[in-house]
Amino acid sequence: MIPRMMTEYAHSRTGIDIHPGAQIGPWFFIDHGTGIVIGETTVIGSHVKLYQGVTLGALSPRAGHASLPGKRHPTVCDDVTIYSGASILGGETTIGDHAVVGRQRLPDGFGGGDDSTGGGISITVDPTWGETERVNF
Protein backbone atom coordinates (compact mmCIF):
# COMPACT_ATOMS: atom_id res chain seq x y z
CA MET A 1 0.00 0.00 0.00
CA ILE A 2 2.83 2.44 0.83
CA PRO A 3 4.55 2.08 -2.61
CA ARG A 4 1.24 2.83 -4.33
CA MET A 5 0.66 5.88 -2.13
CA MET A 6 4.15 7.14 -2.96
CA THR A 7 3.48 6.60 -6.67
CA GLU A 8 0.22 8.56 -6.50
CA TYR A 9 1.93 11.42 -4.68
CA ALA A 10 4.78 11.53 -7.23
CA HIS A 11 2.26 11.42 -10.09
CA SER A 12 0.33 14.37 -8.64
CA ARG A 13 3.56 16.42 -8.43
CA THR A 14 5.26 15.41 -11.72
CA GLY A 15 2.64 14.03 -14.12
CA ILE A 16 4.69 10.81 -14.36
CA ASP A 17 2.98 7.49 -13.51
CA ILE A 18 5.38 4.62 -12.77
CA HIS A 19 3.81 1.50 -11.28
CA PRO A 20 5.84 0.32 -8.26
CA GLY A 21 6.03 -3.19 -9.80
CA ALA A 22 7.92 -2.00 -12.92
CA GLN A 23 11.55 -3.14 -13.23
CA ILE A 24 13.83 -0.26 -14.22
CA GLY A 25 17.56 -0.63 -14.93
CA PRO A 26 20.40 1.79 -14.20
CA TRP A 27 20.95 5.10 -15.98
CA PHE A 28 17.25 5.56 -16.73
CA PHE A 29 16.42 9.10 -17.93
CA ILE A 30 13.11 10.93 -18.38
CA ASP A 31 13.09 14.25 -20.27
CA HIS A 32 10.02 16.50 -20.03
CA GLY A 33 8.16 13.76 -18.16
CA THR A 34 4.55 14.94 -18.18
CA GLY A 35 2.23 12.16 -19.32
CA ILE A 36 4.67 9.25 -19.05
CA VAL A 37 3.02 5.97 -18.00
CA ILE A 38 5.01 2.83 -17.14
CA GLY A 39 2.92 -0.25 -16.34
CA GLU A 40 3.31 -2.91 -13.67
CA THR A 41 5.09 -5.66 -15.62
CA THR A 42 7.25 -3.34 -17.76
CA VAL A 43 10.95 -4.21 -17.86
CA ILE A 44 13.35 -1.39 -18.79
CA GLY A 45 17.05 -2.04 -19.43
CA SER A 46 20.01 0.27 -18.84
CA HIS A 47 20.67 3.63 -20.50
CA VAL A 48 17.05 4.11 -21.60
CA LYS A 49 15.66 7.59 -22.37
CA LEU A 50 11.94 8.45 -22.44
CA TYR A 51 10.40 11.72 -23.57
CA GLN A 52 7.02 13.28 -22.68
CA GLY A 53 3.82 11.39 -23.25
CA VAL A 54 5.32 7.89 -23.62
CA THR A 55 3.12 4.96 -22.59
CA LEU A 56 4.56 1.53 -21.85
CA GLY A 57 1.20 -0.13 -21.37
CA ALA A 58 -0.89 -3.26 -21.47
CA LEU A 59 -3.44 -4.28 -24.04
CA SER A 60 -7.01 -4.37 -22.79
CA PRO A 61 -8.65 -7.56 -24.10
CA ARG A 62 -12.41 -7.96 -24.18
CA ALA A 63 -12.17 -10.63 -21.50
CA GLY A 64 -10.34 -8.24 -19.13
CA HIS A 65 -6.80 -8.18 -17.75
CA ALA A 66 -7.31 -11.45 -15.89
CA SER A 67 -7.39 -13.20 -19.29
CA LEU A 68 -3.74 -12.18 -19.87
CA PRO A 69 -1.72 -14.28 -17.42
CA GLY A 70 1.87 -13.23 -16.77
CA LYS A 71 3.61 -10.28 -18.36
CA ARG A 72 1.19 -7.68 -19.76
CA HIS A 73 3.55 -4.75 -20.49
CA PRO A 74 6.47 -4.35 -22.92
CA THR A 75 10.19 -4.94 -22.46
CA VAL A 76 12.61 -2.17 -23.42
CA CYS A 77 16.20 -3.39 -23.83
CA ASP A 78 19.46 -1.43 -23.38
CA ASP A 79 20.46 1.90 -24.96
CA VAL A 80 16.95 2.71 -26.24
CA THR A 81 15.43 6.15 -26.88
CA ILE A 82 11.64 6.51 -27.06
CA TYR A 83 10.45 9.90 -28.28
CA SER A 84 7.32 11.81 -27.30
CA GLY A 85 3.90 10.40 -27.91
CA ALA A 86 4.95 6.77 -28.40
CA SER A 87 2.54 4.10 -27.15
CA ILE A 88 4.20 0.70 -26.83
CA LEU A 89 1.70 -1.93 -25.78
CA GLY A 90 1.59 -5.58 -24.78
CA GLY A 91 3.64 -8.11 -22.83
CA GLU A 92 5.01 -9.83 -25.92
CA THR A 93 6.42 -6.58 -27.30
CA THR A 94 10.18 -6.09 -27.01
CA ILE A 95 12.08 -3.01 -28.15
CA GLY A 96 15.62 -4.24 -28.92
CA ASP A 97 19.02 -2.84 -27.99
CA HIS A 98 19.96 0.53 -29.55
CA ALA A 99 16.45 1.15 -30.93
CA VAL A 100 14.99 4.61 -31.41
CA VAL A 101 11.19 4.71 -31.43
CA GLY A 102 9.65 7.72 -33.10
CA ARG A 103 5.90 7.24 -32.64
CA GLN A 104 4.21 3.93 -31.94
CA ARG A 105 5.00 0.23 -31.87
CA LEU A 106 1.92 -1.96 -31.63
CA PRO A 107 1.98 -5.75 -31.21
CA ASP A 108 1.75 -7.87 -34.36
CA GLY A 109 -1.83 -8.29 -35.54
CA PHE A 110 -3.13 -5.38 -33.44
CA GLY A 111 -5.32 -2.87 -35.22
CA GLY A 112 -6.28 -4.74 -38.36
CA GLY A 113 -5.12 -7.18 -41.02
CA ASP A 114 -1.59 -8.20 -41.95
CA ASP A 115 -1.01 -4.99 -43.90
CA SER A 116 -2.18 -2.70 -41.11
CA THR A 117 0.32 -0.26 -39.66
CA GLY A 118 -1.87 0.33 -36.62
CA GLY A 119 -1.14 4.00 -37.20
CA GLY A 120 2.47 3.77 -36.07
CA ILE A 121 6.01 3.71 -37.34
CA SER A 122 9.01 2.42 -35.45
CA ILE A 123 12.33 3.97 -36.43
CA THR A 124 15.38 1.92 -35.56
CA VAL A 125 18.90 3.28 -35.84
CA ASP A 126 21.81 0.85 -35.82
CA PRO A 127 24.94 2.96 -35.17
CA THR A 128 27.14 0.46 -37.04
CA TRP A 129 25.19 1.03 -40.27
CA GLY A 130 25.03 4.80 -40.12
CA GLU A 131 21.57 4.59 -41.71
CA THR A 132 17.97 4.70 -40.56
CA GLU A 133 15.63 1.79 -41.14
CA ARG A 134 11.89 2.46 -41.18
CA VAL A 135 9.66 -0.48 -40.43
CA ASN A 136 5.87 -0.37 -40.72
CA PHE A 137 3.96 -2.49 -38.23
Spatial CB neighbours of 118, under 8 Å, sequence gap ≥ 6 = 104, 106, 110, 111, 112, 137
pLDDT in tens, the chain (137 residues): 888 788 888 888 888 999 999 999 999 999 988 999 999 999 999 999 999 999 999 887 777 666 667 888 999 999 999 988 898 988 888 998 998 887 655 555 544 444 333 344 444 444 444 444 444 44
Closest CA to 99 of 121, 133, 124, 122: 124
pLDDT of residue 51: 93
Cα–Cα distance list, 44 to 67, 77, 136 (Å): 24, 6, 23
Q: Can you tell me the distance from the alpha carbon of 7 to that of 107, in angstroms, rounded to the nearest whole number?
A: 28
Contact 42, 75 (CB under 8 A): yes
The vertex-118 CA angle with 114 and 122, nearest 5°, equals 100
Residue 70, pLDDT score? 80
pLDDT at position 92: 86
